[in-house]
Amino acid sequence: MLTEIKHAREAYQKALKEDIGKEKYQGYTAFVDKVVLEIIGEAAGLRLMDIQDPLLMTDDQLLAMKPILAKAMKGIMSTLMQYIDKPMNIRTKLKVATSLKSIKKTLDKETATVLTAEQIAKWNQLKEEAKKAAEAKE
């Protein structure tokens, strides 16, 4: 299904670009990216609110983390859509891994500018516990 969505989106974007021209299309895509980032930012904010108390995160820290987490989430979704219809051979897997590792590295670096080392350690602990709980359900 995601492959079909990707191809429909590509066809739409190609037709739109031909209809409105390159310059207007660039403005359109910039606006769409901004809106998508805002929507993902709200979803990121909800996730952050769930961990705000356990991490003893201030409201200012939460607000500062929203765009950081949103950018990472958008990057992961973009990587998924980019490679969804590609054969998962070694070369493709390496490209996906490189992209995701780069996103994680940026997320970790930017998170370190907002959260304390103790908060980051607690967040990692919470993620690990959630992962173990999900594996136990399987």
pLDDT given at position 125 = 95
pLDDT given at position 3 = 86
Q: If you ran DSSP here, which 8-state letter would residue 58 be given?
A: -
Total domain count, the chain:
1
Please name the amino acid found at residue 90: I
Residue 73: domain span: 2-137
At 24-55, the pLDDT tens digits run 999 999 999 999 999 999 999 999 999 999 99
Q: Could you give the CA distance from residue 34 to residue 47 in angstroms, rounded to a whole number?
A: 20
Low-confidence ranges of the chain (pLDDT < 70): none
> pTM for this structure?
0.81
Confirm if 130 and 47 have CB atoms less than 8 A apart.
no
pLDDT given at position 17 = 92
pLDDT given at position 123 = 96
pLDDT given at position 1 = 77
pLDDT given at position 119 = 97
